[in-house]
Amino acid sequence: MVTIKALWRDGKTPQAQAANVGRIDDELLLLRDGRQYRYRLADIRLEAGVADLPDTVQLPDGGTLEVADRIAIRRLIGGLSWGDRSGHWLQQSWRALAGLALLAIAALWLGYRHLLPLAAGALAPLVPVAVEQALADSTLQWLDQSGAIGPSRHGEARRARRARLQQQLQVLLPDSRYRYRLLLRDAAVIGPNAFALPGGTIVVTDQLLALIQRNDELLVLPVSLANADYSRAHEREADRFAYARLRAHGLSPCLLGYSLQRIEAATHPQTTDDENSPGSWFASHPDTSARSQPDGVRCPPLPD
Amino acid sequence: MNQRDHHPAPPGGKYVLPFAFTATTRAYYRLWLVNVVLTIVTLGIYSAWAKVRTQKYLLGHTTLDGGRFDYHGKPIAILKGRLIMLLALAAWTFSESLPLLHAAIALLAIAAAPWLGVQALRFRLANTSWNQMRFRFSGSSADSYKAFAKSWALLILSLGLAWPWATQIKQRFIAGHSTLGQARLQLQPCAGALYRAALGSTLAAICYLLGAGIIGGIIWQVATLSGFAHGIAVQFGRAALTQLDIVFFSMLAALWTMATLGYARMAISRVLINHTTLQLATLEARLVWSLPTRQMLGLHFSNTLALLLSLGLAWPWIRIRTLRLQLQSLSLLSSSDLSALPLHTPLNRQDDARGDELAELMALDLGW
């Protein structure tokens, strides 16, 4: 009979005792103190040692065997459990590690690209509108305090225009669960811009309002924003949404391109190259010329 | 295997039973890499198995007097605990805009802390063994609430000044109920030493401030003289340079904070461990942690520097070198040899108060 050297401990005292382990049929044979002990294989549990640590055999009476010769004990008892074996394989094989690392990078990328938007889409409707509005209010307050934006400097006429825009926005987006709120703010630092806060709050800067005189052109920006929840990378999708809304109300999808071109012309009076200065509307947005041709439609040149 | 090579008895007839740490950076790096990768691939589920493997590896390579420690936690139990933790975290995060609910959750967390502490210690100790003898935590929730209430009251009434005594009350509760066999740990009074540790930590904070300042100053000078800063300003604008400066200073501040907190934690542990005794019948022993302050200072500074420069990849190296340094200088000074200890009694193992803080302090050591 093959015997393997082991260290036996009773689990109650710290002393270890040298022992020998063998197997007869479906029983484990333990030889120590010149005596024989038998355990049914079904009652014992083999625990694989992590990395370079010895294996441990858990005996049903609370005793343990520490076995340094891991290959021998695993062969004797009939192998590790499936989980232990795969864990061991993963720890030992560089190829497995390399494959897993690639898989992990792919998982991270897929999660960022697809799972995050999916989760955002699923979770966003679950957040009460009141909570979103509270969040928007605190963000707005913070922005006001930071000095990045200030109260609008515009007079009565512009305020009337704001009310009209807000109304039109609600009409353009009839299925929305929000009551849209369009706010005007003076933002010399930011320039002509518009941004969406949670809960249907849309902030339009005075600078943008001054730049775009036509209401229908101005309106497309908030419509596009209303659908861009989580990432600018998804702006193309938001654009498509805006085009569809415009078409549904008998408006030209070219309007989005027009308003973007006006902003670009204003922020880059000398359009010598395609480089954008940091902080401008365009720094992290898709290319304006591409966005000016909705779904392959050729738009007439920018009207004055 | 164990209790073989005994160390010469020092003057006073005492045995020095050393702790040893035999883990290697290489093996731990591999373990860590597989753990990280599998945790990502399984969307975090594997993290429970990762924890078990890590604990098994680190404890398995920690020995006292030649006897190995071991970890026996079951991944499924840890996974359940993590799920509950995740739910609690989600509740905390999502209630941020509802102040009343947020406050209620905070109050609940404070009220549950003593109970949670007992639960955590029970699980932790019951799943840790030395020479295959399990540790045990015998403290009750009622005692835990008493100890925590006393400790917090003292802290609040003294406006924080009495923190060494507050710490002592809590640690005494934990130590006094942590048992191994029939051995009983005790925390000796150490308020004065704790004050000195706090003072030392303040001095360390000043040292680290100087260190971070010198390193930051050198980098600053190099960036300026080499024209790097100017290049950034020309290429990306002054705003970009300002942003870069902010990131740079935040990193220096993070370096300083991490090093200081790491040092303070270790300095306090050193006091507590050096005031921990083990008593059982005729046996008297005490833990001795002879880690020089100078080494501690260097350790935490180089650790944080390496962590920042490697963007976190140096973590396994840091963990192993820290544990090695700590455990190499830790030993148990005993009036007799542990193998001679009547650790086992025929009595029911459940109802005798054994051990002490050994496990809790070990837990601190092993970076739980």
Give, in degrees to the nearest 5, the angle at Cα A301 between A295 and A304.
130
Chain A residues with CB under 8 Å of B70 CB are 56
- Smallest CA–CA distance from A62 into chain B, residue: B132
Chain A residues with CB under 8 Å of B339 CB are 14-15
**Which range has highest mean pLDDT (A8-12, A239-243, B66-70)?**
B66-70
pLDDT of A39 above 80? yes
Pairing status of strand B133-137 against strand B128-130: antiparallel
Dihedral angle of Cα A181, A184, A185, A191, to the nearest 10 degrees: 110
In this prediction, residue A218 has a pLDDT band, given cuts at 50, 70 and 90, of confident
Interface of B with A in 13-52 (CB under 8 A): 27-28, 30-31, 33-34, 36-38, 40-41, 43, 49
> Minimum mean pLDDT among A35-44, A146-155, A262-271: which range?
A262-271
Contact between chains at A14 and B338 (C-beta distance less than 8 A) = yes
Domain count for chain B, please give it: 1
Tokens 């461990």 belong to: B273
pLDDT of residue B9: 53
Interface of A with B in 280-299 (CB under 8 A): none
Residue A92 corresponds to which tokens in the numbers above?
């030992």
Tokens 């990849």 belong to: B313
CB atoms within 10 A of CB A115: 13
**Helix (H) or strand (E) segment spanning residue B222:** helix B191-225
In this prediction, residue A224 has a pLDDT band, given cuts at 50, 70 and 90, of low
pLDDT of residue A292: 65
> Minimum mean pLDDT among A67-81, A135-149, B4-18, B27-41: which range?
B4-18
- φ/ψ bin of A71: left (φ > 0), alpha (ψ from -120 to 50), beta (otherwise): alpha
Pairing status of strand A181-186 against strand A201-205: parallel
pLDDT of residue A272: 43
- B10 burial type by CB count under 10 A (0-12 exposed, 13-18 middle, 19+ buried): exposed
Chain A residues with CB under 8 Å of B239 CB are 278-279
| Spatial distance between the Cα atoms of B220 and B251, rounded to a whole number of angstroms | 13
Contact of A133 with chain B, judged by CB distance below 8 Å, is answered with no
Interface of A with B in 59-78 (CB under 8 A): 64, 66
Specify the amino acid at residue A277: S
- Smallest CA–CA distance from A106 into chain B, residue: B41
pLDDT of B347 above 80? no
Spatial contact of B68 and B60, defined as CB atoms under 8 Å apart: yes
- Looking at per-residue pLDDT, the higher value among A215 and B296 belongs to B296
pLDDT of residue B296: 94
| Spatial distance between the Cα atoms of B260 and B202, rounded to a whole number of angstroms | 8
Contact between chains at A14 and B3 (C-beta distance less than 8 A) = yes
- Looking at residues B102-131, what average pLDDT do you find? 85
Third-level CATH fold of A4-89: PH-domain like (2.30.29)
pLDDT of residue A276: 42
**Structure confidence by residue, pLDDT tens digits, B170-200:** 999 988 888 887 777 889 999 999 999 999 9
Contact between chains at A14 and B34 (C-beta distance less than 8 A) = no
- φ/ψ bin of B49: left (φ > 0), alpha (ψ from -120 to 50), beta (otherwise): alpha
Of A56, A64, A278, the CB nearest to B236: A278
pLDDT of A178 above 60? yes
pLDDT of residue B236: 77
Chain B residues with CB under 8 Å of A131 CB are 97-98
- Smallest CA–CA distance from B61 into chain A, residue: A53
pLDDT of residue A168: 78
> Minimum mean pLDDT among A113-122, A225-234, B97-106, B211-220: which range?
A225-234
pLDDT of residue B229: 83
ipTM score of the complex? 0.78
Residue B167 corresponds to which tokens in the numbers above?
């710490």
Residue B195 corresponds to which tokens in the numbers above?
């004050």
Contact between chains at B133 and A56 (C-beta distance less than 8 A) = no
CB neighbours of A215 closer than 8 A, spacing ≥ 6? A161, A164, A165, A168
Query: Which of B37, B59, B180 has the most A C-beta neighbours within 10 Å, making it the best mutation to test the interface with A?
Result: B37
Contact of A16 with chain B, judged by CB distance below 8 Å, is answered with yes
Interface of B with A in 85-104 (CB under 8 A): 97-98
pLDDT of residue A35: 93
Cβ pairs bridging A and B (under 8 Å) = 93
> Minimum mean pLDDT among A252-256, B245-249, B251-255, B292-296: which range?
A252-256
Specify the amino acid at residue B88: A
**Closest C-alpha among A289, A227, A202 to residue A254:** A289
Contact between chains at A51 and B237 (C-beta distance less than 8 A) = no
Contact of A272 with chain B, judged by CB distance below 8 Å, is answered with no
Contact between chains at B239 and A278 (C-beta distance less than 8 A) = yes
- Looking at per-residue pLDDT, the higher value among B233 and B225 belongs to B225
Mean pLDDT, chain B, integer:
83
In this prediction, residue B351 has a pLDDT band, given cuts at 50, 70 and 90, of very low
Contact between chains at A104 and B41 (C-beta distance less than 8 A) = yes
**Closest C-alpha among B338, B350, B343, B69 to residue B182:** B343
pLDDT of A111 above 60? yes
Q: What Rg value do the Cα atoms of chain A yield, rounded? A: 35
Contact between chains at A14 and B239 (C-beta distance less than 8 A) = no
> Helix or strand or coil: residue B291?
coil
Residue B5 corresponds to which tokens in the numbers above?
């090579």
**Helix (H) or strand (E) segment spanning residue B277:** strand B276-280
Spatial contact of B17 and B338, defined as CB atoms under 8 Å apart: yes
- CA B75 to chain A, closest CA, distance in angstroms equals 12
| Spatial distance between the Cα atoms of A204 and A259, rounded to a whole number of angstroms | 13
Look at residue B203 and tell me if it is in a domain.
no
pLDDT of B358 above 50? no
Chain A residues with CB under 8 Å of B336 CB are none
- Smallest CA–CA distance from A129 into chain B, residue: B97
pLDDT of A54 above 50? yes
Contact of B186 with chain A, judged by CB distance below 8 Å, is answered with no
Chain B residues with CB under 8 Å of A126 CB are none
CB atoms within 10 A of CB A109: 10
Of A7, A16, A135, the CB nearest to B97: A135
| Spatial distance between the Cα atoms of A223 and A278, rounded to a whole number of angstroms | 24
Query: Range of B183's domain?
Result: 15-190+269-365
Give Dmax (Cα) for chain B: 81
> Helix or strand or coil: residue B223?
helix
In this prediction, residue A234 has a pLDDT band, given cuts at 50, 70 and 90, of low
Interface of A with B in 78-117 (CB under 8 A): 87, 90-91, 97, 100-101, 103-104, 107-108
Contact between chains at B57 and A50 (C-beta distance less than 8 A) = yes
In this prediction, residue B63 has a pLDDT band, given cuts at 50, 70 and 90, of very high
- Looking at per-residue pLDDT, the higher value among B133 and A283 belongs to B133
Of A14, A87, A107, the CB nearest to B343: A14
Alpha helices, DSSP H only, in chain B?
Answer: 25-41, 47-60, 75-94, 99-126, 141-157, 163-176, 191-225, 228-236, 238-274, 293-309, 315-328, 358-365
pLDDT of residue A269: 55
Q: φ, ψ for residue B73 (rounded to 5)?
A: -60, 145
pLDDT of B15 above 90? no
Chain A residues with CB under 8 Å of B61 CB are 53
- Looking at residues B45-53, what average pLDDT do you find? 90
In this prediction, residue A248 has a pLDDT band, given cuts at 50, 70 and 90, of confident
- CA B366 to chain A, closest CA, distance in angstroms equals 17
Contact of B237 with chain A, judged by CB distance below 8 Å, is answered with yes
pLDDT of residue B272: 92
**Structure confidence by residue, pLDDT tens digits, B122-171:** 888 888 899 988 888 888 889 989 999 999 999 999 998 999 999 999 99
pLDDT of residue B78: 82
In this prediction, residue A281 has a pLDDT band, given cuts at 50, 70 and 90, of very low
**Structure confidence by residue, pLDDT tens digits, A125-173:** 777 787 788 888 888 888 888 777 788 877 777 777 788 888 777 777 7
pLDDT of residue B189: 92
pLDDT of B56 above 90? yes
> Helix or strand or coil: residue A202?
strand
**Structure confidence by residue, pLDDT tens digits, B283-306:** 788 999 999 999 999 999 999 999
pLDDT of residue A249: 75
Tokens 């969406």 belong to: A196
